[in-house]
Amino acid sequence: MKTIKTLSFISLFFIASNFVNAQNDNEAKALVKDVLDKVQSYDNFVIDFSYTLENTEQNLKQETRGDVSIKGEKYVLNLMGTTQIFDGEKIYTIVPEDDEVTISSYDETDTEQITPSKMLTFYKEGYRFKMDVLQDVKGRKIQYVELIPMDSNNEMKKILLGIDKQTKHIFNLIQVQPSDTRIEFRVTKFKTNEPLSANHFQFQKSKYADYYINELD
């Protein structure tokens, strides 16, 4: 499911000690640790982002915007007209275009189901990372860290993680696939410790009385 795979890329915004413990470039390790320390000090995150998929050989370019809020294991992701909610137990995928809600229970053993911490576990092994270029983006110093998969069959050729050196926040994430398809997530707003309502991460069935509810289990 596209929204689930999208969350996997977004979750890289919350990289943890899985990278820090790797045997890689010490400077990259220290920078990632600074990001980790700052991220862990927040109660929740609300991120607005742009999403661009581009392949110049195929003359293909798709652009859209989305947002995600994360608190612990819970999240709400809005992208491409679809909302996905994870309340810690069940995943709700809401598609207004089809007037449909799909509900599935979270299964930790299911590799297709993604949560923030599960993604961190996923990236625990199989990647090496190193410092890449430093760029000036409208006065902001963006340091890139390159993540390279060790498995040649990985669907990702490499990932570039752009970090604002002053704020220690993620600026963007670029995924390059073997087909030279380039996917970029760029943070347009990064808000922390927001006053989220008590039911922010809860599916409210009453809002979707006219929808078809597809309960998978």
What pLDDT score does 48 carry?
Answer: 92
Q: Which residues are registered as beta bridge partners of 60?
A: 55
What pLDDT score does 63 carry?
Answer: 94
- The DSSP symbol for 59 reads T
What pLDDT score does 119 carry?
Answer: 47
What pLDDT score does 195 carry?
Answer: 95
What pLDDT score does 16 carry?
Answer: 40
The list of the chain residues with pLDDT below 50 reads: 1-5, 8, 15-23, 118-124
What pLDDT score does 126 carry?
Answer: 65
**CA pair distance 21, 128, nearest whole angstrom:** 11
**CA pair distance 75, 69, nearest whole angstrom:** 6
Long-range contacts of 128-134 (CB under 8 A, 24+ apart): 128/22, 128/23, 128/24, 129/19, 129/22, 129/24, 129/25, 129/28, 129/32, 130/24, 130/25, 130/28, 131/25, 131/27, 131/28, 131/31, 132/160, 134/165
79 closest CA partner among 60, 91, 94, 92: 94
Which structure tokens are listed for 180? 């030279």
